[in-house]
Amino acid sequence: MLDLTKAALSRSDHDLLSRFGEEQKAKLQQDIVDCGMLIDQGDYAAIFERIRDRDAWHLDDVQFVEDFFDRIVRAATRESADDLARAVFDMLPFFGSVSPRAYELVTEKTSVLMNRVIALGRADIAETLLQSIAEGPQAVRDDLLLNPGTAQSIIASGSNNLLSRYVSLVKKIIIPAPNVSGFSRESWAEILNPLHGARISKFLAILGHSRGELREILVQVVGNLYVTGVLIPDDKLFQRDISAYLNSPARENDFLLNYLLLKKFPVYFNEVGATGRIRDDTTEIDSWGNDPILYFLRKQVHVNASNYNIQLIEKIITTWTFNSPEFLEGAVPEDVLTDVNGELLGQYAAVAKPLFTSLGILDNEGLHLDHILDAQEDALRREAARMSGTEEVKAKVLLLCRIYQEVSKKYSFGGHDEQADDPFSTFAGHLETVKRMKSTILSSEKTDPEESLYFKRHIAFGIPSVLGSYHERKFDALGEAFRQETYIRTLMENMITTISRTGERSSGAACKKWVQSLGMVNDLFSLHGLDNFQADELIAVFRANNLHCSQIIDLLRIWQGEMTWMVESLHGMFHHPIVDVLQALPAQDLPDRLKNLDDGEGNFINKAADIVMRDMVSSIAGLTELDRLLDRLITTLTDGMQVASDEQIMFSEGAGKAREYVTLDELHDDDVSRLAPLLGGKAKNLMYLSNRNLPVPPGVVFTADHTPGYREYTAADRFLPVLKKAIGTIEKRSGTRFGNKENPLFLSVRSGSYISMPGILSSILYCGMNRETLAGFISTKNDPWLGWDSYRRFIEHYATVVLDLDITVFEAIAAQVRKGSGKGDGDALSAQELENMVSQYLQEVSRLGADIPDDPYEQLRQSVTAIYRSWYSDRARQFRAAMGVSEHWGTAVTIMQMVSGNAQGSGASVFFTRDPFSHQKGVTGDTGETATGDDLVYGRLTHRRLRRGQAGSPGKSLEEIDPVLFRMHEELGEEVEKAMRGLSQEVEATYTTGPDGKRVISVLQTRRMEFHREFTKKFHDVCRMEENVITRGVGVHGGVLSGVATLSSRPEQIKTLRKENNLPVILLRTTASTDDVSLMPYIDGIVTAAGGPTSHASLLAQKFDLTAVVGCSNMHIGPGTGGQLSARIGDETITEGMLISIDGTTGLVYTGTCFLTVEKPPEEQASRRSVE
């Protein structure tokens, strides 16, 4: 250290620090030896003289730390910073052994040095200093990194490299579990791992400086705390930490993460210590003075108040119920446990066990402590009065239950039971309170705490304690918001119960109220930071449209799909941090709920992570409840349709017919959402994009409400003037004329139902093509090849969609032309060869007795008619029947300016805005030069991958051969997802090159990216699997799968089943449980009768990458013939080993199998789904 600082420090400063060098150290060691000898000689006077003469300055480590850092910081320059940083590194081992006060100075002064180095513009040296700290002793490293000053300096540096390095180091620091290892002999206070609370406070302090820069650390801390749990004694006054955090910049960002973090802390009470009913009841329960356990409970609640007392009370209740003191082992001191009165314990059990049994708290499945929290005091008293036993024992049992309720309510918001005659209307009042509380929490106003605290020595126990009250406006608002959410959760449970009780007998008015209540749930999610643009749109649709029950079911299923995304988002965010913590913590330090999961088969981490993820998901108020509410609504509406008609629910008196057509750029977002069912999914999404000034070709939409009477509508004389007026808006925006032979406009005519039916409905390209417009097109573009290729495409589309001719007719002609020219499928034809092909196309159409009119408007009128007609095609009807989609939607018709992706220097792309595997932002998909979207869909050319390293076709990616064009795709993907409020998308785009050589990329359509984590499969059409559908649930993971059914709970039996059949295994369950984790490595799919996207089965499917369908409510599992389990689904009975099939995307379950599937990576599958 002295050598490193010699050149940087002044001579006087260096001499000062040299007094701590090796020479001085040697002198001190010699003094110690000499003093030892003097002690042996009894020469004490000489000892004192030696000490008096020795310069004691270098024995003062506090002064040394002060002087060392002051001189290092003062001497730091851009040139000397490197040597000085290395000098600090040399001193780290020494700093780990200094006194506590000196150690505090080390952490404080290191952050000052870090700030100084950054101020000098030497972020590189700050990185070196960080690396030095990382390589130092662990305790020193952790404390230096968790210094708020260090975090603040690094955030303010503006250096991404420095920040990234800091974040990566801090993420490795684990908050240990509280790990109660015993009790203090003096006070009986729990002996905790001191790092538990200390690190929580330090992490909160550094996160308080973040405006999003430390998000990864925040995620890690949240995952950490959901693994370890949190134990904070009242006397730590952690409320102050919460208040400081709520008044920091951190509250402005990542509300959901902050919500998950802050909700984990058991400190949202204003009265510190034991007060009120808790103090009175714990005093009374010990008033008989004959039970050492109750004396210990009273002492803990009065003096050592903390959320750990919830566990203590639970263990006492369990001990009393089962008459077994072994449940108290580790929960009370050994000397207290040895004094347990066995006779008295038997008396408790004689009252508690029958009492809890009569109230359903104890049953064959075990003791349900949560039922005590919901039990009414009057009901407990009435039942207790019926029990045999002394009044003393009955009173103690009742008091213990009430203490449990009150202590739980204090620390965890438990014990609430909101009773309401109409939970749907009561919900609104609680929601408004939460909104007000959040407004207070996010206020920029700094709020100060009001403390009325005093510290005392407890008279009865002679132990120091703290009592009093703590208030601070934001802290109080957060606590109240959490309490209100508890009421809301209870109300949502009551709503589910109400719907279940009413069942299929529900009226239209009741259904209307149920569905409208979803708007409040959506508002609650928005308050949590779980805003979802698709859910917002669904609420707007519900409020503005009169919908049939079947349509409502479709919309609810869309919402279930969004919940799948929410859960997957949480899973993707937290799974790795949770696993990291589980792997880092010693098994003995894990909380009780995780310790006993290891079954010796290597499943511990998976089981534990699964439990933690479920805890996290269920901690978000309303999430699991909405999952169950949607499922209940779908089941009730479906059952109602079985006994009555598909009733139309009148949500809006103002709902009515829209205008005949709407341009893509004339509606505001609110109107787009409101009219979405009429506009169709394709058009309404383009409108959202257009409103954000994204490149969307000009177009108009003829609304879906014309579908039922489309024949009369399009055949009427008045339709043609309307059509011409609509096309006029496209002409005006494009600068071209439809049917004009000099500057022709060509149109694409596309279908678009609100419920996506990928590949089922129809499209027509280059409408308006005839000999005259072709000539004008060739002249304008100076490209005969483009003209004839476009004409070819028009004939193929028009003949197959409008004239209903078989595509194979044209495929045969194309093959003959290629054969005659000696060219293969992948070789480009010349303009002359394409002209020959077009001529043969037209001859064949005429020979078949069909006709393509020359009049462009007649082409367009017939095209519009054909698109409407496609709603009623056999394949469309079969699709809707198989998917359970309502017949009432109809399809809109979207007419847009044709963008010539098939021109030279142009092309088409179909891509995801996120990686389909990791879900990280970044385009992934395919592109094709000189192509339109249908070329990508139907495999008419070799695709080129967009991104380097992306799975798919061989050859170089677009990113490699044309990075500028790739970046245009990246930017477009970012803008499209931004316009769709963060919802990941599947996009079809076309890029063209203008006369000036500048390239333009346009969006032709975008739709919600379906949830997939693996290769997407679908059954081949030849299997006609739609005829074998037996039920539909919620598809939460994977594609299609055929295999053998199992209802077994034994891994060995499942392995045998797989071996005997050599087929995938599909597990059938009413619900999935933690025990089923051991089966996951041996199965390929899972179907459950209950649950939704947040269910256990859904989380297991995501974790183990299984094909999964949940929520098949008409599946009933029970003993069948011979006592063997079987699953009853409608008229079908599924037994062990039977052949079944499932679709994890659509949620369909089938009898039989189909092993002929279409399998493509997600980026290729996007192409097939995106173009309709």
How many beta carbons lie within 10 A of that of residue 1088, not counting itself?
30
pLDDT at site 653: 73
pLDDT at site 945: 84
Which H, E and C letters describe 637-674, residue by residue? Answer: HHHHHHHCCCCEECCCCCCCCCCCEEECCCCCHHHHHH
Give CA 968 to chain center in angstroms: 28
* 3 state DSSP class of 1041: strand
pLDDT, mean over the chain: 86
Q: What is the largest CA-CA distance in the chain?
A: 130
Distance CA 341, CA 320 (A): 12
Q: Dump pLDDT digits (tens) for 256-297.
A: 999 999 999 999 999 888 888 999 999 999 999 999 999 999
Give me the DSSP letters along 406-472: HHHHHHHS-S-----S-HHHHHHHHHHHHHHHHHHHT-SS----EEEEEEEE-TTT--EEEEEEEE-
Kindly report which listed range (6-15, 767-776, 803-812) carries the lowest average pLDDT score.
6-15
pLDDT at site 182: 85
- Helix segments in 871-930, DSSP class H: 874-883
Residue 595 has pLDDT above 70, yes or no: yes
CB 595 within 8 A of CB 587: yes
Q: Which of 902, 771, 774, 769 is nearest to 828 (CA)?
A: 902
The DSSP output letter for 1156 is -
pTM above 0.85, yes or no: no
Q: For 15-25, what is the mean pLDDT?
A: 52
As given in the structure block, the two tokens for residue 368 are 């349900």
Q: For 60-73, what is the mean pLDDT?
A: 74
As given in the structure block, the two tokens for residue 876 are 């469309």
Q: Which of 774, 775, 771, 768 is nearest to 797 (CA)?
A: 768
Give CA 167 to chain center in angstroms: 22
pLDDT bucket at 822, cuts 50 / 70 / 90: confident
Q: For 497-520, what is the mean pLDDT?
A: 86
pLDDT at site 56: 41
User: 319 Cβ partners below 8 Å, 6+ apart?
Assistant: 293, 325, 327, 328, 345
* Rounded (10°) CA dihedral 245, 249, 252, 255: -40
Output 35 or 1062, whichever has higher pLDDT. 1062
Unique residue bearing structure tokens 């787009």:
672
Distance CA 208, CA 244 (A): 8
Distance CA 785, CA 782 (A): 9
Query: Residue 984: how many CA atoms within 13 Å on its side-chain side?
Result: 25
Q: Give counts: helices (H), strands (E), the chain.
A: 48, 32
- Helix segments in 983-1112, DSSP class H: 1051-1061, 1096-1104
Residue 788 has pLDDT above 90, yes or no: yes
As given in the structure block, the two tokens for residue 800 are 């197959």
pLDDT bucket at 81, cuts 50 / 70 / 90: confident
pLDDT at site 1024: 82
CB 155 within 8 A of CB 163: yes
Residue-level length of the chain: 1172
Q: Which of 995, 1078, 1087, 1084 is nearest to 1034 (CA)?
A: 1087
Q: Is 1158 exposed, middle or buried (0-12, 13-18, 19+ CB in 10 A)?
A: middle
Topology of domain 661-897, CATH: Dna Ligase; domain 1 (3.30.1490)
pLDDT at site 60: 62
CB 651 within 8 A of CB 547: yes
pLDDT at site 40: 65
How many beta carbons lie within 10 A of that of residue 428, not counting itself?
14
Q: For 445-451, what is the mean pLDDT?
A: 94
pLDDT at site 936: 72
Q: For 787-806, what is the mean pLDDT?
A: 95
As given in the structure block, the two tokens for residue 115 are 């700030």
pLDDT at site 456: 61
* 3 state DSSP class of 688: helix
Q: Dump pLDDT digits (tens) for 1105-1163.
A: 789 998 888 899 888 777 788 999 988 999 999 999 999 888 899 999 888 877 544 43
The helix (H) or strand (E) run that includes residue 543 is: helix 533-544
The DSSP output letter for 882 is H
pLDDT at site 504: 67
* 3 state DSSP class of 262: helix
pLDDT at site 964: 95
CB 1101 within 8 A of CB 570: no
Q: Which of 983, 62, 123 is nearest to 533 (CA)?
A: 983
Provide the residue ranges of all domains of the chain, joining segments of one domain with +: 1-19+55-170, 271-412, 661-897, 907-1008, 1021-1155
Q: Dump pLDDT digits (tens) for 639-660.
A: 888 887 888 888 877 665 667 8
Distance CA 852, CA 770 (A): 9
Residue type, 604: F
Q: Dump pLDDT digits (tens) for 215-262.
A: 999 999 999 999 999 999 998 999 999 999 999 999 888 999 999 999
Distance between terminal CA atoms of the chain? 72
pLDDT at site 326: 94
Highest mean pLDDT among 36-40, 157-161, 632-636, 700-704: 700-704
Q: For 69-86, what is the mean pLDDT?
A: 75
pLDDT at site 47: 54
Domains 661-897 and 1021-1155 belong to one CATH topology: no
CB 716 within 8 A of CB 738: no
Kindly report which listed range (50-54, 516-520, 564-568, 775-779) carries the lowest average pLDDT score.
50-54
Q: Which of 803, 814, 793, 837 is nearest to 933 (CA)?
A: 793
pLDDT at site 464: 58
Output 484 or 1101, whichever has higher pLDDT. 484
Q: Dump pLDDT digits (tens) for 731-764.
A: 999 999 999 999 999 999 999 999 988 667 788 9
The beta strands (E) that lie in 821-920 are given as 892-897, 907-914
Output 1078 or 385, whichever has higher pLDDT. 385
Residue 594 has pLDDT above 90, yes or no: no
Task: State residue 607 phi and psi, 5-degree precision.
Answer: -65, -45
pLDDT at site 22: 52
Unique residue bearing structure tokens 């409108």:
687
Q: Which of 793, 781, 1165, 765 is nearest to 1004 (CA)?
A: 765
Distance CA 332, CA 188 (A): 9
CB 399 within 8 A of CB 391: no
User: 1016 Cβ partners below 8 Å, 6+ apart?
Assistant: 1039, 1145, 1159, 1160, 1161, 1162, 1165
Distance CA 992, CA 701 (A): 24
Domain made up of 1021-1155: CATH architecture: 3-Layer(bba) Sandwich (3.50)
Distance CA 113, CA 89 (A): 12
Distance CA 991, CA 969 (A): 9
pLDDT bucket at 671, cuts 50 / 70 / 90: very high
As given in the structure block, the two tokens for residue 507 are 């009226």
Residue 158 has pLDDT above 50, yes or no: yes
Residue 17 has pLDDT above 90, yes or no: no
Task: State residue 1112 phi and psi, 5-degree precision.
Answer: -85, 80
Q: For 120-145, what is the mean pLDDT?
A: 85
* Rounded (10°) CA dihedral 250, 255, 261, 266: 100
pLDDT bucket at 7, cuts 50 / 70 / 90: low
pLDDT bucket at 1167, cuts 50 / 70 / 90: very low
Output 73 or 923, whichever has higher pLDDT. 923
User: 43 Cβ partners below 8 Å, 6+ apart?
Assistant: none
How many beta carbons lie within 10 A of that of residue 692, not counting itself?
13
Unique residue bearing structure tokens 């609680």:
430
Percent of the chain residues past pLDDT 90, beyond the cut: 57
pLDDT at site 273: 84
Q: Dump pLDDT digits (tens) for 826-883.
A: 678 999 999 999 999 999 999 999 999 999 999 999 999 999 999 999 878 877 887 7
Distance CA 915, CA 920 (A): 5
pLDDT at site 607: 85
Residue 459 has pLDDT above 50, yes or no: no
As beta bridge partners, residue 1118 has 1126
* Rounded (10°) CA dihedral 622, 628, 633, 639: -170
* Ramachandran sector of residue 693 (left: φ over 0; alpha: ψ -120 to 50; beta: rest): left
pLDDT at site 24: 52
The helix (H) or strand (E) run that includes residue 547 is: strand 547-548
Unique residue bearing structure tokens 């940083």:
85
Distance CA 1146, CA 1036 (A): 9
pLDDT at site 454: 74
Distance CA 309, CA 411 (A): 10
Superfamily grouping for domain 907-1008:
ATP-grasp fold, B domain (3.30.470.20)
